A and B are shown apart, each in its own frame.
Chain A
Amino acid sequence: MSTIYALALERSRTRILLLAVGFGLFELVVGLSYASVDQNAIRQLVDALPPALRALAGSADIASPTGYAGSGYLHPVALAIQGAVAISMAAAPAREAEDGTAELVLARPIPPARWLAAHGLAMATGLAIVVAGGFLGGLAAALTVDDLSPVDAAPLAGALIAGFLCFLAVGGVALLVSSLVRAGGRAIGWASAFLLISYALDYLAQVWSIAEPLGPLSIFHYLDPPAILGRGSIGIEDVIALGGLALATSLTALVLIQHRDLTP
């Protein structure tokens, strides 16, 4: 299992490192930009925005230091970076089934569930490295910009852990699809669709009262970094919901792969 895990990480190392650096730089830039803004002007601007646009920044006051720093982790760029690493690495088993490397590996005495679990662990590791990049970027900004001094390392880590769990759940869904299909493109497509629908559902639930009851069905309902930075800790319900989805989808994938054809 360690060999497959190492191989999966080795094959994705450039992508992981680039995304980690990119995420870190993005959060650093977001944080540094706070020094140049007028908090009152932002507040007036946000108040003037329609609810549909205000919903994009989450529930917190983005004019506050914690709200502003937290909104950087809800920005579509941040979400896309984390989604890219989770989905692409969790779709690797389907890609390997397609290009024939899975046949080469699974004709050796390796249980398919162990092979899939190794890919899942590699995905979690890659995601953790990328999230750590985002954490370091945000922390560097908080230490550099005086106005961001209310942003402490511990709540920042909590916000990043929430993001990690959220995209671990996305990776779990991608792993589940990977156990069912033998084409990398299809696995990436289905997992991306899940991510986009989930995002749209959360957005709609915030701006449209009729859709509000559907909000808890979205993973983004449980991801609110500005709120975590504001109150200083991550909500246990959010941890259970996101971690539970990641665990449930991954375990289902491990069971399903035992009963599937491994090659065409």
Chain B
Amino acid sequence: MEQQQRPDPLNRIDGAFFWAAAERGELAVQRCCKCDRLWHPPRPVCPVCHGQDMDEQVLSGQGRVLSWALSVHPRPFGFAEPPIAVLVEMEEGVRIVSTLEGVPLDEVHSDLAVKVDFVRSNGGKALPLFRPAETRA
């Protein structure tokens, strides 16, 4: 994993599995054991069936871009360079906010196919990010 300046995850008990999966190089979201629905961000119980046994499901890592945002001013905290924040719809249907690398801002477009990759934060934690699917580093 490459080393650049980026902030550490905000790790809470309900989302700990997400960051543990990232350490394994996997992108995982919450899955309700009772109804199999996927949730991101993770919910304390399943909002549909109210199941309280929540597991995780590893995703393919493939998705498409819905929207993007590069914070020019003020500059984002913890980053060497302002990143492109991106809202990605995964092929499994859940949506995730992450960062997009490997493509200049003016070439980002709706439905851009992207694939997950992992990098290290300032504190050495694994962070998922996305790159264009065809040019994965």
Q: Do the two shown chains form a genuine complex with each other?
A: no
Chain B residues in contact with chain A, CB under 8 A? none
Chain A residues in contact with chain B, CB under 8 A? none
